[in-house]
Amino acid sequence: MMFILWAPWRFKYIENVNNKDECIFCTKPKEEPSVNNLVLYKSKHSFIILNLFPYNTGHLMVAPYKHTSKVYDLTQEEWIDIINLLNLSVRIVEDVYKPQAFNIGLNIGRVAGAGIEEHLHIHIVPRWAGDTNFMPVISNTKVIPESLEDTYNKLKKRLEEII
């Protein structure tokens, strides 16, 4: 038997994210990495950014600079760069937060859950036993135990130590 856990509060995010005139995955990497834009690191073809609406503490995204929604629009060199940043992201989150598991993936298209469907990005979501609870269902509230600023600073410090 399959149980379904409804998360209707996420639909407000999905509805509103595309109402903006600009793509955050195009504008944010034009700036220098900082806690203000949540960009952690930039490489030749892609970058690491914290999710402004995290599912868990340490929720990162890796995105190419190329504005595309099609996986086949990226070159082999771009994909290699993205995978290198994916590996780096997992490593720094493991080092800092010691998660027990990860959800890593692409949501391609609105019906697949993409909040920003016109620009590919990979989600890296650390997971711990018991990290889901009744709060979102009962009170429409997700508990994130750390501020984005603190998360950024911890991950940035670890990133600088290993690069």
Neighbouring C-beta atoms of residue 75, cutoff 10 Å: 11
d(CA 117, CA 90): 23
Asked if 119 is an active-site residue, the reply is no
Cα torsion angle, 57, 109, 36, 94, sign: positive
- From residue 18, how far is each of 29, 37, 72 by CA, in Å? 18, 18, 23
**Any idea which residues carry the catalytic annotation?**
121
